[in-house]
């Protein structure tokens, strides 16, 4: 009897111990067998490249790193300027110097001229252009082949020039921009010398031409301005008369007009 009671007590104690050992395992199993806990998505526009900051020790300063993004350079920020076209129209005064030939000689009254050009600004200081210019002067006096003056001289001398010019514009920080320039090209020169209305000598030639220029632009706005300039214009010697005499043709001109700039 006592043995049976002891065996039953031992069995009960064993079952109680097994029960106590199984309850925590079942609780842990319930936790792992439950629905998974959803993870929150990252916040939008999160910068994952940010360097984590390390807390500074007492008495120390935390150095921060700042990343600066440089935008691509544009044409204007790099200093490269677009070419700018312009046109010029003007006219004014023209003086033709005395023409000296082997025997003959001619002087001329003060006359007039006109000019037109299309050019391009290469940068702030340099520009080039193609120019067409016309000049005309009347004959003042004329010496015959025997060296005597014509009694009633008449006629005129004129030229149509096609020139390529180059300029240097001085920077002044204002709308007044002085310049110097030079040009070369070709000119059609026509001359006719008369006495009492009868033609004594005449010539028409295409000659090499060159000129020196000094002047100033007066910029009123970005697209409109005025100009005033002096030009010394000359050609190679022209022939006159059947005897093959040659003489000079050169001028002093003062022209003014408008200058229109295109963006």
Hey, how many other C-beta atoms are within 10 angstroms of the C-beta on 142?
22
Residue 39 included in any domain? no
- The pTM for the full model equals 0.68
Between CA 54 and CA 47 the distance in angstroms is 17
Distances (CA, A) of 59 to 54, 64, 86: 14, 16, 68
Give the pLDDT band (50/70/90) at residue 77: very low
Output the six-digit token pair for 218.
């007066």
Q: Cα 165 vs. chain centroid, distance in angstroms?
A: 17
Output the six-digit token pair for 236.
């190679």
Are residues 93 and 15 both part of a single domain?
Answer: no
Residue 98 included in any domain? yes
Residue whose C-alpha is closest to residue 233's, from 185, 168, 167: 185
Q: Quote the percentage of the chain above a pLDDT of 70.
A: 68
Q: What is the mean pLDDT of the segment spanning 140-169?
A: 93
Q: Is residue 152's pLDDT more than 60?
A: yes
Distances (CA, A) of 42 to 46, 49, 50: 7, 14, 15
Q: Cα 86 vs. chain centroid, distance in angstroms?
A: 11
CATH of the domain at 227: 2.40.160.20
Element (H, E) at 257: strand 250-261
Residue 11 included in any domain? yes
- The number of domains in the chain is 2
Are residues 101 and 225 both part of a single domain?
Answer: yes
**Exposed, middle or buried, 218 (CB in 10 Å: 0-12/13-18/19+)?**
middle
Are residues 124 and 251 both part of a single domain?
Answer: yes
Task: Identify the domain containing residue 153 by its residue range.
Answer: 84-261
Residue 227 included in any domain? yes
* pLDDT tens-digit readout, 27-69: 444 444 455 555 565 555 555 455 555 555 565 555 555 555 5
Are residues 90 and 153 both part of a single domain?
Answer: yes
Are residues 128 and 225 both part of a single domain?
Answer: yes
Hey, how many other C-beta atoms are within 10 angstroms of the C-beta on 47?
6
Question: Which pLDDT belongs to residue 56?
Answer: 56
Question: Which pLDDT belongs to residue 38?
Answer: 57
DSSP 197: T
Are residues 11 and 131 both part of a single domain?
Answer: no
Q: Is residue 178's pLDDT more than 50?
A: yes
Are residues 25 and 92 both part of a single domain?
Answer: no
Are residues 99 and 15 both part of a single domain?
Answer: no
């Amino acid at each position: 009897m006592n043995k049976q009671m002891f065996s039953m007590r031992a069995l009960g104690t064993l079952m109680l111990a097994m029960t106590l050992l199984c309850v925590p395992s079942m609780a842990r199993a319930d936790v792992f067998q439950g629905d998974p806990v959803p993870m929150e998505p990252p916040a939008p526009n999160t910068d994952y490249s940010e360097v984590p900051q390390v807390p500074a020790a007492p008495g120390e300063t935390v150095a921060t790193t700042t990343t600066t993004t440089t935008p691509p350079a544009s044409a204007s920020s790099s200093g490269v300027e677009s070419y700018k076209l312009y046109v010029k129209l003007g006219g004014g005064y023209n003086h033709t110097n005395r023409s000296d030939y082997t025997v003959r000689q001619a002087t001329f009254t003060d006359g007039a001229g006109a000019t037109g050009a299309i050019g391009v600004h290469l940068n702030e200081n340099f520009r080039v252009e193609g120019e067409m210019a016309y000049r005309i002067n009347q004959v003042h006096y004329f010496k015959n082949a025997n060296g005597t003056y014509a009694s009633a001289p008449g006629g005129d001398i004129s030229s149509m020039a096609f020139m390529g010019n180059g300029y240097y514009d001085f920077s002044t920080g204002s709308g007044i921009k002085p310049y110097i320039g030079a040009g070369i090209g070709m000119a059609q020169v026509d001359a006719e010398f008369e006495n009492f209305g009868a033609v004594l000598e005449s010539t028409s030639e295409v000659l090499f031409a060159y000129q020196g220029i000094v002047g100033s632009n007066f910029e009123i706005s970005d697209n409109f301005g005025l100009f005033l300039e002096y030009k010394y214009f000359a050609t190679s010697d022209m022939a006159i008369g059947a005897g093959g005499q040659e003489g000079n043709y050169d001028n002093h001109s003062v022209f003014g007009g408008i200058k229109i700039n295109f963006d």
